[in-house]
């Protein structure tokens, strides 16, 4: 049985309530008790608004190490670091880190006059500033962000509080401004309800095809404020809008029980709904890099977003292919991932292990040295020590080199090793086992059987050595020898399910 320990390498990101001057984890050498930065403060001047604006910007953790571009989340009330900005970052880290949704750049827009900027109609009844604010977004903010960062043409709006009415108004008035929205109580401003309904009717009359998505969280009470009447008006308006809405527009409504004065953004369910199926289901199976690329190409076309396959999914899929014995396919996936994420520890770790298991010690050493430079770890150090040890005295490595010149040369080399009894030379069951399976994968059956027989002879009490030898005999068509090997393995380990299964099949 091929025992190969796999480990899903993960990099933790710590969050605090405060904003620092740089994105990503705190640099090494920071003093104890100092804050961990989760974003960058940027300032820009707006001629449209006639004022300076502050932005809180967060890029994905591997932004500086990748070559990728990213879609952008625009968060209204971005100055609410503890209440809103941190929640967006925390939710993204969980969902995007697990490949459930894309990675995003987050742009938190700080308020100066939230009701004056965001409402279509001010509480006083005078015209609001929503149209001017949309001009600011379209003519100034979007170009500013797109000039400073690598962005994809996909924008998602998160609109809490007065951002709810603004988002619905923007959908109806300028439907191409955002590709998706997560809004909160969009009918909460009484003076804006009538114009929202009118604009939605006008939008429906135009009926442009779209791939937009809107998720609305609504709740009946925040502190002393009762929103139940506003929500009934909203639901009636959206019920009337639903049968005539533009083709391709997806709208969800969710009633949230929320007793606090400033509710949570409740982002997990909206993100999962908008990007449903982003993490591929088990069926249909994706058995190659070509399958993976085709899946994400199709998904991107449905969402209106060009998708780069997530690193996490590529790493997991490479594990699946490796376990299935499809090492070449696994390597192809990892090499593609490395092109997208050149310094990603998950990808490098797996490529290093594949190189190690394939006997490519030079390649493995290069990778594990790079990993140690990126972030020292005892496991990486142990791999480097194992590589050095193998070079100095591994009998399995010596036989691997000799087998390149044929079985006769390898047998002569083994006789030489056993005769000389060099104290530096060592025999390791796992190394011989890995070599045997490598040869099986190359269809070098005679050489594989030779290595597994040697391993079982040197380790007569190892149930795994006899189990592996049995598998080699099966592939070589030596049924009687396979039966004996599996029977011996089962006697040594009665819990060996593989031996029991193989014996049942061979005895039929």
Q: What is the pLDDT of residues 219-276, one digit of tens each?
A: 887 767 788 888 899 999 999 999 999 999 999 999 987 656 677 889 999 999 999 9
Q: Is 1 helix (H, G, I), strand (E, B) or coil?
A: coil
Evaluate the CA torsion angle 13, 14, 17, 19 in order and state its sign.
negative
- Which of the residues in the chain have pLDDT under 50? 2-28
Share of the chain above pLDDT 90, in %: 77
- What pTM was computed for the model? 0.82
Structural contact between residues 78 and 44, judged by C-beta atoms closer than 8 angstroms? no
In this structure, the number of other CB atoms found within 10 A of the CB of residue 282 comes to: 6
In this structure, the number of other CB atoms found within 10 A of the CB of residue 362 comes to: 10
Domains of the chain (ranges; CATH) run: 40-274 (3.40.50.1820), 310-393 (1.25.40.10), 400-508 (1.25.40.10)
Residues 354-383 have pLDDT tens digits of 999 888 999 999 999 999 999 999 999 999
- Give bridge partners of residue 156 from the DSSP assignment: 73, 180
Q: What is the structure's pLDDT at 18?
A: 36
Closest CA to 139 of 44, 41, 39, 68: 44
- Residue where the block lists tokens 């962005």: 151
Q: Is 421 helix (H, G, I), strand (E, B) or coil?
A: coil
- The Cα–Cα gap between 441 and 389 comes to 25
State both tokens at 274: 């908008």
Structural contact between residues 307 and 323, judged by C-beta atoms closer than 8 angstroms? no
Q: What is the structure's pLDDT at 219?
A: 87
- Determine the length of the chain: 508
């Amino acid at each position: 049985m091929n025992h190969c320990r796999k480990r899903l390498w993960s990099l933790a990101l710590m969050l605090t309530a405060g904003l620092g001057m740089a994105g990503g984890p705190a640099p090494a050498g920071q003093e104890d008790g100092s804050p961990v930065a989760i974003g960058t403060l940027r300032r820009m001047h707006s001629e449209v608004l006639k004022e300076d604006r502050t932005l809180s910007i967060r890029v994905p953790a591997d932004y500086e190490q990748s070559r990728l571009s990213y879609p952008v989340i625009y968060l209204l009330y971005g100055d609410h670091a503890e209440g809103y900005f941190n929640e967006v970052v925390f939710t993204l880290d969980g969902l995007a880190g697990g490949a459930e949704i894309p990675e995003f750049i987050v742009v938190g827009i700080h308020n100066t006059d939230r009701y004056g900027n965001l409402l279509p109609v001010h509480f006083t009844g005078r015209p609001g500033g929503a149209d001017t604010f949309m001009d600011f977004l379209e003519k100034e903010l979007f170009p500013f962000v797109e000039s400073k960062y690598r962005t994809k043409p996909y924008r998602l709006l998160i609109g809490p509080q007065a951002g709810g009415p603004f988002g619905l108004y923007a959908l109806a008035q300028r439907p191409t401004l955002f590709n998706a929205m997560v809004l909160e109580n969009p009918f909460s401003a009484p003076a804006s309800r009538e114009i929202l309904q009118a604009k939605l009717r006008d939008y429906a009359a135009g009926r442009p095809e779209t791939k937009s998505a809107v998720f609305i969280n609504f709740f009946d009470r925040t502190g002393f404020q009762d929103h139940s009447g506003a929500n009934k008006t909203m639901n009636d308006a959206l019920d009337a809008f639903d049968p005539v809405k533009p083709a391709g527009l997806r709208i969800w409504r969710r009633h949230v029980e929320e007793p606090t004065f400033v509710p949570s953004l409740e982002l997990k369910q909206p993100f999962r709904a908008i990007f449903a199926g982003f993490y591929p289901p088990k069926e249909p199976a994706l058995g190659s890099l070509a399958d993976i690329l085709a899946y994400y190409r199709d998904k991107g076309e449905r969402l209106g977003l060009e998708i780069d396959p997530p690193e996490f999914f590529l790493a997991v899929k490479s594990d699946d292919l490796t376990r299935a014995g499809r090492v070449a396919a696994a390597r192809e996936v990892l090499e593609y991932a490395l092109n997208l994420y050149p310094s990603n520890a998950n990808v490098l770790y797996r490529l290093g292990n594949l190189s190690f298991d394939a006997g490519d010690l030079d390649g493995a050493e290069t990778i594990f040295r790079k990993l140690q430079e990126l972030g020292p770890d005892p496991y990486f150090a142990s791999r480097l020590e194992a590589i050095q040890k193998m070079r100095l005295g591994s009998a399995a490595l010596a036989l691997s080199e000799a087998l390149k010149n044929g079985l006769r040369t390898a047998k002569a080399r083994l006789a030489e090793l056993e005769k000389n009894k060099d104290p530096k030379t060592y025999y390791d069951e796992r190394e011989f086992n890995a070599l045997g399976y490598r040869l099986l994968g190359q269809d070098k059956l005679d050489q594989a059987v030779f290595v597994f027989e040697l391993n079982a002879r040197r380790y007569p009490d190892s149930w795994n050595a006899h189990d592996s030898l049995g598998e080699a005999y099966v592939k070589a068509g030596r049924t009687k020898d396979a039966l004996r090997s599996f029977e011996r393995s089962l006697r040594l380990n009665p819990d060996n399910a593989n031996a029991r299964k193989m014996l049942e099949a061979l005895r039929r």
